[in-house]
Structure 1
């Protein structure tokens, strides 16, 4: 790691911040501090430059208009693309996930994305709303994931990305897969916020930011996150 303090950057909270996505920043900061790791959480608005040299970047969800504005400003700024190319971890949720791809639909038209992930998004036949769950790619070591989705888009993955999970409940990308990842970039439709429900995902991002294996992170008390996960998975089982 380049510095002794982890710099966690939440991008464009004035445009992309729905369904508690700021919680992802809070969860990362809490899990780092619980291990004695110094963190500097930063909120960077859309009228500010994306900082170079941060250790981890976060994007949240948003409505069509703010999503289109965010994509345009991130393209003009260029720093997030450079960070991805340098291997910096990025977690992008819903609208933030879509704009990392080659293109997305908003306000009834197609917009260019950042091209960080090999995927494109368009409109689906119906809105996907409700619980989402699935089994993640084994190589990520995350097990099952759980979240809440609320989006009208469908996302089509290219050859240069892998799905984050195979869907067991909900829609995700297309009713079969959920999210995508390549290198140290992860995109997902999970709100909730995602990291409160999926502490292993939070720790994977922290480990990537620190340049270590997740197994090297000291264990912390996950009683409450695990209780939340069990409750959510139980609710899905009862609904079947």
Structure 2
């Protein structure tokens, strides 16, 4: 955890710009699953007018419309705090618009390429059709997460560079390109999954916790696991 705090610092970046689909749920489930294990947490909300603190543990970015996405990318690049945090080993979890802007480039509403924050080796543009609906994907076995489920609503298509790996292989839905969904590089992870993603996939939330605190005790199955199983059954 952070060198300056005994609590796990969860940093929610730009909720005023990037929180289209209930992304606060990702913040809440991380805090809940940490505290059920006796891990103290601190939630830091960073609005777009605020500097991004470097001494966080897990940074969360949500989805957003085209114009807020552009503004968020510009401010994150100018601020530099997220990039410095990633360089010092913080975990980053970014969804949809957030996923695109932490990459090298992303497309605006006219398909023009714009520079991203550059902490994940992906490049995103606009596809010919919009991807909307439930998505199911099998996560890279190296991460120990299994099958994930979520809801996608995006026109983006994302190509993964050599420094990153696909987060998962799609079973149902579009994701990056009809074949893979999301990407990860070290402790930086991006995905198109809404839902929100972490309440629907408790194992994915636990992955982020393990990245920052090491081994964690298992929790008995509860509503999160039941929601995950119900969504898989409904879609497949």
- TM-score normalised by the chain length of structure 2: 0.96
Task: Return 5+ residue gaps in structure 1 as ranges.
Answer: none
Counterpart of 1:77 (choices 61, 74, 79) is: 79
SS at structure 1 position matched to 2:166: coil
- Which residue number corresponds to residue 233 of structure 1? 232
Can you give the 5+ residue segments of structure 2 that lack an aligned partner in the other structure? none
Q: Distance in 1 between matches of 2:232 and 2:114?
A: 36
2:92 aligned partner: 90
1:217 maps onto 2:220 in alignment: no
User: What is the RMSD of the two structures over their aligned residues, measured on CA atoms?
Assistant: 0.9
Post-superposition offset of 1:71: 0.3
1:162 partnered with 2:161: no
- Rounded to whole Å, the distance in 2 between the matches of 1:94 and 1:173 is 10
1:124 and 2:127 aligned: yes
Aligned partner of residue 64 in structure 2, secondary structure: coil
> Cα offset for 1:209?
1.8
Query: CA deviation digits over 1:155-174, x for unaligned, max 9?
Result: 01111110000000000000
Trace 1:127-206 onto structure 2 (pairs within 5 A).
127-206=130-209
- 1:218: Cα distance to partner? 1.7
Normalised by the size of structure 1, how large is the TM-score?
A: 0.95
Aligned-residue offset at 1:222: 2.6
- Partner SS state of residue 196, structure 1: helix
Q: Deviations over 1:178-207 (max 9, x none)?
A: 000000000000000100011111111111
How many residue pairs get aligned? The number is: 233
Distance in 1, matches of 2:138 and 2:66, equals 29
Displacement, 1:123? 0.6
Distance across 2 between alignment mates of 1:115 and 1:151: 21
Cα distance, 1:223 vs. partner? 2.1
1:52 deviates by 1.6
Question: How far did residue 219 of structure 1 move?
Answer: 2.1
Equivalent-residue separation in structure 2 for 1:222 and 1:69 (angstroms): 40
**Paired residue for 1:53?**
55
Question: 1:14 maps to what in 2?
Answer: 16
State the alpha-carbon separation in 2 of the partners of residues 95 and 17 from structure 1.
10
